[in-house]
Structures are given as structure tokens and as C-alpha cells.
A and B are shown apart, each in its own frame.
Chain A
Amino acid sequence: MQGIDRRQFLKIAGLGGVVFASGLARAAGTYAASQDEFFFVQLSDTHWGFKGAPNPDAEGTLPKAIAAVNALDPQPDFIVFTGDLTHTTDDPAERRRRMAQFRDLISGLRTRNIRLMPGEHDAALDRGEAFKEFFGATHYSFEHKGVHFIALDNVSDPTGAIGPEQLEWLTADLAKQPREARIVVLTHRPLFPLYPQWDWATKDGEQAIAALMPHSNVTVFYGHIHQEHHFKTAHIEHHAARSLIFPQPAPGSVPKRAPVAWDPQHPYRGLGFRSVEAEPGEYKLTEHPVLKA
């Protein structure tokens, strides 16, 4: 495993965010060049229902992010939420109430092609039961303009594992793809052991990575850690998205994991969402703030 030297890739974009250009598909050659260009938006860790000092505008942040996504011109082909749509609660009725409110809120997105997946806050206490009632399957795959997307569920099992049954499904799904196919994995927890002391890992994530390894063009987008993070396991890149409720500290940077305190001088700092442009031979990542400066 290795970190990515961001200096190789970063350049400043006009939106106040950054563009991360990945050379992932270089090896794919003419296969990648034949794909259509498009972009999608990744939102993550909205934790609808959270209340607390780390975000005094907890009920306003997601609506502001939705407004910011709706202001994108052009609009994305689709929008993906990589888990923790709602903040956990021990009350099953309250869990469903939060999911219903979340569903109503995102109905205001202009782009209607929306892909959802659970985080442990949504699914770990009832093994995804409420999530499935509201939003459907917790793992699935789909095609979009020449890219094969795979949504992996590593949260419905409260131990933070994908599980043998889903790994078998993943292997069968990948078997239908050419080795050089463009594959994007969407998931909640990191598939690699980023910082297991803080539960920033997937118990059997190495098995998913092993299944993906024979494919030359794989990129993973995930959430869970509430901050932008970029990492490589061999040729596979892993990109964590910011949260839309509160940021978390860098892995292992403080003795105890706790939300980064709200800064009244810089409200919403560290929060945001991401757009991903799929171009022939590369992905370009742009990080967007909740509110433009």
C-alpha cells in the first residue's frame, strides 16, 4: 500500500476547490478512449438527525448542499450518497422517521438519477432492514456510459465486514467484466486498513481488494472518515469524501477520535461534496464547499 503524492496531481481550480487528476486508465489504452465523458457527484455522511455542538446548523447543512448541487451547471449525470445518510438511533421508529425526512429532502435534487448506499449509522443496528424498506438493495452494480459501478455494503454487518455471500456476488459480478474495463467501486468504509484503531477499516476488505486486483482500472470512492483522503493499494486508488455534518481529525492525529470543533469564524469548514469527471484515461475530482466563499 502507498500514499499518493498529491503534488503530482493537484492543481487549483476556479471554484475554490481542487482538481485531482488521476492517471488511472493509462494502461487501459484504447478501451478507455472509447468511453463517453460524464460526471457524477458524491455526497457522503450527511448524518440526518444529528444534533450537537460540532454542527449548530445540522438541519441546514444538507439543504445548503442540495442547493449547491442544484446550482451546478451542467447538472451531473447522477448523484451518489456513500452512506451514513442518517445519524444512528437506538429507536427503530425514529430511524425510519429520519430516513423518511432524508428521502423527502433529496427529492429536491434536480438530478433525479440518485444512487444510495448505507453507512453503519443507517444499517448496522438492524442489518439494513429499514434502509431496504426506504431505499432498496444495499449492494448492487450498474453501468453508466462505459463504466461499471459496484456499490458494496460493508456496514449492514455490525462487525464492519462485507461477508462471504456478498464477496461471492462481487467475484461473480467482476467475472463478467473484461480485465481492462473501467470499474468504480462505491462503498462506505475504507476497504483497506486506514486506521483500525478508530474502526476505519473493513474486516474482510482485503478479500474485496484481492478480487479487484486482476482488473487494471479500478477506483474506489468511499466516505466514513469525514475528510478528503487519497490512497493507493497497488494500482487501485481509494478516495474518501468529506462529510456534510462535521469533519473528523486526520487518522491517528489526536489521542481520541472526536469531531473537529465547529469554528464560528469559518462555518462549514471541512464540509463539502465532490464531483467526479470521467474522461477518457482519467478521473478529475473537484471538491466543493457547502457555501461558496
Chain B
Amino acid sequence: MKRRLFLLLPLIGTAWAQPEPRVISIAARKFEFTPGEIELRLGEPVVLELATDDVHMGFDAPGLGLHADLLPGKPVRLPFTPQKAGSFEFACDVFCGSGHEDMGGVIKVTA
């Protein structure tokens, strides 16, 4: 038993040593995301925390495989680690009103 615990200790230590992922808050409102431009580093674990107080909206970044439905008062957390560099568009993909088609932004991932 003691030997097993001894073997696990380095793993526990590694987990403790890992920094908390950076949390990036994104507010969705008619008809913009704030911030509309997000800069990330390749390989950096982050959590996108999305929220809206308006109406049913969406967050869709197909180039990064990220998608969320955003309902008023129900924040959504999207943890992910960028695996490729580049600029990736995101947009609201729930038709939310007269300015819906202008509602988008970009995630820039640098090496």
C-alpha cells in the first residue's frame, strides 16, 4: 500500500504544479461579442467563458471546433487548447435580430 502511494506521489505533484488555465470572458449582446478579437498562444490551455443577458445566441468557431448555444443567464465554459496557429473566425449562429449578420469576431493563435 505504501509503495503504491509512493508511486502516485510524482503524478499528484505534477497535477498540483500545473497552472490554472487562463479564463477569457466573452460577453454576447445585440449585436457584438466583447472582446471581438482574442489572442491566444499555441498550446496554452484556456477556458472561454461565454455569457449573454439578451436573447438566445450562439458562438460558433468552426475552424477550432468550438460551438456553444448561449441562453440568457446561463454562462457556458469552453475549455480548450489551441493546436494550430492562425486566425479563426467566430460568429453568432443563432439568428438573434436585425444586426445578427454583423455579429462575429476572430481568435488569433500565435506560435
Interface residues on A, range: 10 to 19
**Cβ A257 vs Cβ B101 within 8 A:** yes
Proximity bits, B60-75, A CB within 8 Å = 1, else 0: 1011000001000000
**Cβ A158 vs Cβ B101 within 8 A:** no
**Cβ B95 vs Cβ A197 within 8 A:** no
Per a CB cutoff under 8 Å, which of B56, B63, B91 touches A158? B56
Docked Cα-Cα span, A126 to B56, in Å, equals 13
Q: Which residues of A contact B62 (CB under 8 A)?
A: 196-197
Interface SS of A by simple majority: loop
**Interchain pairs with CB closer than 8 A, number:** 39
**Cβ B98 vs Cβ A90 within 8 A:** yes
- B53 on the interface (CB 8 Å rule)? no
- B19 on the interface (CB 8 Å rule)? no
Docked Cα-Cα span, A199 to B101, in Å, equals 9
Q: Which residues of A contact B96 (CB under 8 A)?
A: 158
- A181 on the interface (CB 8 Å rule)? no
Q: Which residues of B contact A125 (CB under 8 A)?
A: 95, 97
Query: What distance in Å separates the Cβ of B86 from its nearest Cβ neighbour in chain A?
Result: 12
Query: What distance in Å separates the Cβ of A152 from its nearest Cβ neighbour in chain B?
Result: 17
Q: Which residues of A contact B69 (CB under 8 A)?
A: 159
**Cβ A197 vs Cβ B63 within 8 A:** yes
Docked Cα-Cα span, A158 to B94, in Å, equals 5
**Cβ A160 vs Cβ B89 within 8 A:** no
Query: What distance in Å separates the Cβ of B20 from its nearest Cβ neighbour in chain A?
Result: 30
Query: What distance in Å separates the Cβ of B76 from its nearest Cβ neighbour in chain A?
Result: 15
Q: Which residue of B lies closest to A158 (CB)?
A: B95
Known: A159-B58, A256-B104. A198 touches B98 (CB 8 A): no
Proximity bits, B92-108, A CB within 8 Å = 1, else 0: 01111110110010100
Docked Cα-Cα span, A89 to B95, in Å, equals 12
**Cβ A198 vs Cβ B95 within 8 A:** no
**Cβ B91 vs Cβ A160 within 8 A:** no
Proximity bits, A249-284, B CB within 8 Å = 1, else 0: 000000111000000000000000000000000000
Q: Which residues of B contact A197 (CB under 8 A)?
A: 62-63, 89, 91
Name 7 interchain pairs, CB-CB below 8 A, sorted by A.
A90-B97, A125-B95, A158-B56, A158-B95, A196-B60, A197-B62, A197-B91
Chain B residues proximal to chain A, CB less than 8 Å: 56, 58, 60, 62-63, 69, 89, 91, 93-98, 100-101, 104, 106
Chain A residues proximal to chain B, CB less than 8 Å: 88-90, 120, 124-125, 155, 158-160, 196-199, 255-257
A90-B98, A124-B95, A256-B104 provided; 7 other pairs, C-beta below 8 A? A88-B98, A159-B93, A160-B94, A199-B91, A199-B93, A199-B101, A257-B101
